[in-house]
Structure 1
């Protein structure tokens, strides 16, 4: 093949209903341009991640970078800040982009909707492109839905939340699209560039015309060079369609432990496009376990339900985040509350809502400008706590928190956290990992488990704790040594307890849990092998029932 081949994106899958409206020749050409410009740099950044993880594994501690001290010490620079429609972010609802969730989010009364193509979406081909169709319709006020039982769902308010789309992270690929570069090399497309590119190409101008704009949440960043890459993607894309520089706004999730040491630098690289930072607390815990899993028992965490936002290392991280944001004119957005109100058990709901209120009261009191909830039933509770602090103000950027002083050691200091591991905690991790992965394999990335709306971060914490407990030879408070054999036995027990059907994916889910929690190798994300080897589009619920009846 000629060394001067024109870069292309080709589709390696069947087109579903209305997919041709998203995968147009013009949109694919734009994706090809993005990949030609940035695919090589993406791979460089992923290589850097691998080297940093190896460095930490070998005993080198994370630190604030001496070479970027001037960025941190310069008190003059500020970020672009809130774009139109992002001025007040006191409560944001999160969720996947399936048709029904899209309508529920738009009707929710939240200030913003994190339309999630990442951890809350199982990236089947139908979910990825179907989600783009749903967002396309939502932006144009033409989204509705009819359920299998004939019920009609439609947007019933003019005061819809501002949409902030979260693309998949740099580490993921989209195997249904192939990029052929100038040298003729063919490889899977970047999931990040795919999600961003299709959404931006089709919707940027329409969003501007509604008085808002193309806004994004950026997941899983680990350093300021990854932020620089995103900033260059944004500038290239703005130029490509002829909109002003800085029209795009991004909120960056600080959900990896390396990123916590470079918050100033990340904002600086994205300063013309940055709106704020978010405390992505569950992925942050997973990142700490992943990076320090081989560093001895001093880095072993207790049962997941004991890791609250008030423990010292989490407290240090969130305090630093608020201070960094407000020093730079960026919004600080708090963490997720994932409880699902239970109509059948009002007492459970009352206790859970009290915990949600406590959590949001702490965030508002600490200076956060907004927060996340996963269910519409939590919005009033969260809003009340932020209303009590903010009043009529859209934010509290004036609270620069000069009293906060956080050292590098404090961000990874677990010394005051007693590593209490219990038999119940081990079993819970096995159960959550198995049941979430099974749901994910069926195409459901936001899974209702034990009165919580769980996404991939929960399964990552669960399986990474199991791996670490096994490799550190942890013994539970009840005297049980955590071994591969013990966890494997629990996995078999939990599997037997599930209600099985002909269309479930529990057998595949068990294989994945064994792969990502019980092997010597530690996959950096469980979704990488699961996506490559196990995830396929599933028949609709109606088709599944028909197949079961025929069987």
Structure 2
């Protein structure tokens, strides 16, 4: 590649972060990032257009997804490469750990778990300041510069989760174009940390968010191969777990595993992003209206139960690990009875996942770790995973995955969705990617399903079962105003958040991702812009 033809501009360091900024964006790191982005620029653009095209197929022709008729699907002989020793047993990860929250990140590094979802996606707000802090905290953990973190082999595995393809990094431009967020996260992490992680058998390992099919898995696999060659680390060192949190990817699990077979760490379930994606792709059709999620949508409902079964049996048939979802409930600090109630709910739900055959899952609250470790010891004390168990094979059809649960909309469910969506936007404007509400951690996944349902209910004039009232923009606006008045918010951001919320749930065409809508919005960009100058171009 002719570097003289490449032109990169990077926003200056946020105040107080110059040292971290200089390390992360050294001249050599800029060269690597530029080369990475330019190598895959055209294929990333093709990914974006393919997504638009697939969505159009349903809107224009009512074409629903089908299982692919590929030779990989019908060939029972192929397997993914075995994972390295440290990944054999990953029964419990901590989820939604934004590395920009240094205190929480350090707490996770010292937790009694196998892995940490180091999250630049659902639980993270990608302001420029947060990106610098988060990437540098990963750097410090890997380079053993944190106090109390003396050896990578003595801390949980860093399961690095870059932003998904829908996120753009507005602070870095290469050859006149803003860069895809996942390539920035992946590129900077790999350039600074991959050799250390590889030499210690501790990575680099990744979660891949919001993948929408096998072609996108192939793109990631090719990125892995190119990066390993470029950084001179052994082929197959990178391992990645794909989150099946998009309805289209559910129909291509076999092919996704095949495309990543030398770099695969299996598949993961994510209930709320997955449910929201059904509305995103098919929400114009009244046949796909989802009822109140708190009352009528859970992992025991047919379409979600079959989805998890398909993830598990697909993975295990190919020698790959299957990962369940994240427990979002928080153990209260006081009231012993409430503590026991939360623990009982989480243990019961996770016990069902273990019995279904998962090899691991996540919790957010570190206070849940002892009881979950005890649960795993009860069912799987002598095995690092459940790959050796007989496969619980069940024939699962397209209809199984696309049959929506019965039920209605409740008044409380509508209000809860409104509150979660508004609070998520409010916290994003304040630079926070997740927050605590009514005893649970809320992130972009719950914000997605909340605003998606409200958009869908307004569009299809859904009826509330409590009082037979129709869900309208006016009703949602009134409930929004009532909520803001009742909480006595001190920050003016809440009124901006409310306006953005009403905008996104009443748009004529459904915005695919709430995070894209916010990340690209002038209000958010203006709020988190440190200044408007750029570095001298690096030629």
| TM-score bracket, shorter-length normalisation | over 0.9
Q: Given the alignment, which residue of 167, 172, 178 partners 1:172?
A: 167
Cα RMSD, aligned residues only = 1.8
* 1:481 alignment partner in structure 2: 470
| Residue 262 (str. 1) matches residue 252 (str. 2) | yes
* 1:546 alignment partner in structure 2: none
* 2:73 alignment partner in structure 1: 72
Aligned-pair CA distance for 1:538: 6.5
| Residue 448 (str. 1) matches residue 436 (str. 2) | yes
Give deviations 1:382-404, integer Å, cap 9, x for gaps: 22222222112101112352531
* 1:137 alignment partner in structure 2: 140
Relative distance call for 1:497 and 1:5 in structure 2 (3 A) is: farther
- Give every structure 1 segment of 4 or more consecutive aligned residues whose post-TM-superposition deviation is greater than 6 Å: none
Aligned-pair CA distance for 1:346: 2.7
Question: In the alignment, is the contact (CA less than 8 A) between 1:71 and 1:264 conserved in 2?
Answer: yes
**TM-score scaled by length of structure 2:** 0.93
Question: In the alignment, is the contact (CA less than 8 A) between 2:172 and 2:178 conserved in 1?
Answer: yes
Q: Given the alignment, which residue of 327, 341, 349 partners 1:359?
A: 349
Aligned-pair CA distance for 1:480: 1.4
Aligned-pair CA distance for 1:140: 2.1
Relative distance call for 1:482 and 1:156 in structure 2 (3 A) is: farther
* 1:500 alignment partner in structure 2: 489
Question: In the alignment, is the contact (CA less than 8 A) between 1:303 and 1:426 conserved in 2?
Answer: no
| Residue 22 (str. 1) matches residue 24 (str. 2) | yes
Question: In the alignment, is the contact (CA less than 8 A) between 2:289 and 2:456 conserved in 1?
Answer: no
* 2:321 alignment partner in structure 1: 331
Relative distance call for 1:480 and 1:13 in structure 2 (3 A) is: farther
Give deviations 1:31-82, integer Å, cap 9, x for gaps: 111111112111111111111112223411110012x2x1111111111232
| Residue 90 (str. 1) matches residue 80 (str. 2) | no
1:227-266 map, 5 Å:
227-266=217-256
Of 335-344 and 115-124, more deviation after overlay is shown by 335-344
The 3-state SS of whatever aligns with 1:473 is: coil
The 3-state SS of whatever aligns with 2:524 is: coil
* 1:149 alignment partner in structure 2: none
* 1:31 alignment partner in structure 2: 33
1:510-529 map, 5 Å:
510-529=498-517
Give deviations 1:1-29, integer Å, cap 9, x for gaps: xx996223320233523211101111111
CA distance in 1 between partners of 2:335 and 2:433 (Å):
25
CA distance in 2 between partners of 1:464 and 1:23 (Å):
37
Question: In the alignment, is the contact (CA less than 8 A) between 1:80 and 1:274 conserved in 2?
Answer: yes
* 1:51 alignment partner in structure 2: 53
Aligned-pair CA distance for 1:519: 2.3
Give deviations 1:227-247, integer Å, cap 9, x for gaps: 000001000000001111101
Question: In the alignment, is the contact (CA less than 8 A) between 2:408 and 2:463 conserved in 1?
Answer: no
Aligned-pair CA distance for 1:156: 8.9
Question: In the alignment, is the contact (CA less than 8 A) between 2:78 and 2:318 conserved in 1?
Answer: yes
Relative distance call for 1:85 and 1:403 in structure 2 (3 A) is: closer
1:171-320 map, 5 Å:
171-180=166-175, 186-320=176-310
* 2:446 alignment partner in structure 1: 458
* 1:40 alignment partner in structure 2: 42
* 2:536 alignment partner in structure 1: none
Aligned-pair CA distance for 1:426: 0.6
Question: In the alignment, is the contact (CA less than 8 A) between 1:356 and 1:381 conserved in 2?
Answer: no
Question: In the alignment, is the contact (CA less than 8 A) between 2:278 and 2:288 conserved in 1?
Answer: no
| Residue 348 (str. 1) matches residue 341 (str. 2) | no
